[in-house]
Amino acid sequence: MNEIVITEVTVIDLRFPTSRESIGSDAVNKDPDYSAAYCTLETNSGLEGYGLTFTLGRGTELCVMAIEYLSRFVKGRTLDSLTENMAAFCRQLTDESQFRWLGPEKGVIHLAAGALINAVWDLYARAEKKPLWKLLAELESEQILSAVEFRYIDDALSRAEAGEILKEAKRGRAERLSLLQREGYPAYTTSVGWYGFSDERIRELCRKALADGWTSFKLKVGGDAKDDLRRGRLVREEIGWTNKLMVDANQRWGVEEAIRHTRELAELDLWWMEEPTSPDDILGHARIRKEVSPARIATGEHCHNRVMFKQLFQAKAIDVCQIDSCRVAGVNENLAILLMAAKYKVPVCPHAGGVGLCEYVQHLAIFDYLCVSGSMENRVIEYVDHLHEHFSIRYGFDEEGICCRRWRDTASKSVRIRSTAIAIPMERCGKANS
């Protein structure tokens, strides 16, 4: 018997005092302490699976408690019993008959489900001795489809349509993998433009990022309109006009304010305006998009679940779909969103501006490129360089293929991402990242 049995689930409340230096700050979240509710699945085999959900500090303990509650659905079970029907396992977490009342499929309980589901996928990948992206890419289409919960979205994307998308994306996959291994996946940096940074610091960080090869930059806006424009001009002075600039208002405005402010920033030649208004306002996003065209509208990091993404696509409310690896119910729900985005032809540029998220989203973006959208056009992964020193990337097996975290492509002078495994906090492994 070599069955892997999950014997224990431990959850830690992991917090970093990033607010001291305004790292991660934006117009709405002015003093975030980047944090994670971090869970570890222990097994009888010595293998462990790791999963997290991202928070801004206070409230992490609620996520920890929710993960501890949901851990009853994995503890004592074999890995096979979870992975043989992933959609059924997810539904156990998201559809628990009393706990469900707290959501459903939103808020603290959904963050907790995301952490636990991702931990199961991480364990699955480690058991198969593959990075997650490779595990996903090598699954049969039927296995991918059986991991997707089509309930509530099959009016927009049927299982048959999703199967066709996967089938279509098989063409040219080997060439795309080879290109990915050679050139990586394009990324952009948010680290230069946090809201609480001084002008001098923004200038200095832009210069450093340019020297490091970055070609796409994001600036936090949402303050006084004139000041936003001044800071945007400052970034343009540093990065020039051939590099890309995106701005992020982090839900700061009402719909009409958002239209006004986005138009006022038009001279900055924005690649996208992110989260201009409430993340719940689907029709508001649709109106903003229509009235500020050709400015592109991005959102998704605060989108509760696949149903909201479905409506954003149906309402033609966004130009850029920003999945988050653990806001929704982990890998499974993101598979549903990637497939819907492919059907509606909306590029996916994952959100990763929080601790641990940069590691996660690489796998999803690479899977999207290899097996779903088949395209890198208008697609970039978010990257922030804070807090990586607190994590160690260890597979426990030889890495193969795509294996670096971030590297400079000297030919194109841009920064690209190669995939790693899901990170382990140093306090668990007692070893600095090499």
Residues forming contacts to Mg ion in the complex (CB under 5 A) are 248
3-state secondary structure (DSSP) of residue 167:
helix
Min dist. Cβ of residue 2 to Mg ion (A):
43
Which residue in the shown chain puts its C-beta closest to Mg ion? 248
State the Cα–Cα distance between residues 368 and 336, nearest whole angstrom.
Answer: 11
List residues with catalytic annotation. 220, 351
State the DSSP string of 346-413: --B-----STTHHHHHHHHHHHIIIIIS---TT--EEE--TTGGGEE---SS---SS--SEEEETTTT
Cβ closest to Mg ion, residue 259 vs residue 303: 303
Min dist. Cβ of residue 297 to Mg ion (A):
12
State the DSSP string of 73-131: GTTT-BHHHHHTTHHHHHHHHHT-TTGGGG-SSSHHHHHHHHHHHHHHHHHHHHHTTS-
- Nearest 5°: the CA angle 139, 147, 1 is 65
Min dist. Cβ of residue 300 to Mg ion (A):
9
Cis peptide before 279, with omega less than 30 degrees from 0? no
3-state secondary structure (DSSP) of residue 153:
coil
Cβ closest to Mg ion, residue 238 vs residue 248: 248
Cβ closest to Mg ion, residue 176 vs residue 379: 379
CA dihedral of 400, 405, 408, 414, whole degrees rounded to 10? 110
Cβ closest to Mg ion, residue 327 vs residue 406: 327
Q: Phi/psi of residue 186, each to 5°?
A: -65, 145
Min dist. Cβ of residue 366 to Mg ion (A):
21
Cβ closest to Mg ion, residue 176 vs residue 252: 252
202 close to 432: Cβ distance less than 8 angstroms: no
Cβ closest to Mg ion, residue 228 vs residue 248: 248
Cβ closest to Mg ion, residue 54 vs residue 185: 54
The single-letter DSSP state of residue 23 is: T
Min dist. Cβ of residue 354 to Mg ion (A):
9
State the DSSP string of 280-348: T-HHHHHHHHHHHTTS-EEE-TT--SHHHHHHHHHTT--SEE---TTTSSHHHHHHHHHHHHHHHT--B
152 close to 307: Cβ distance less than 8 angstroms: yes
Strands 272-274 and 297-299, by their bridges, are parallel
State the Cα–Cα distance between residues 96 and 423, nearest whole angstrom.
Answer: 29
Residue type at 225 in one-letter notation: A
Residue from 318, 322, 423 nearest 380 by CA: 322
Min dist. Cβ of residue 245 to Mg ion (A):
14
Min dist. Cβ of residue 67 to Mg ion (A):
24
Cβ closest to Mg ion, residue 32 vs residue 51: 32
64 close to 37: Cβ distance less than 8 angstroms: yes
Min dist. Cβ of residue 24 to Mg ion (A):
10
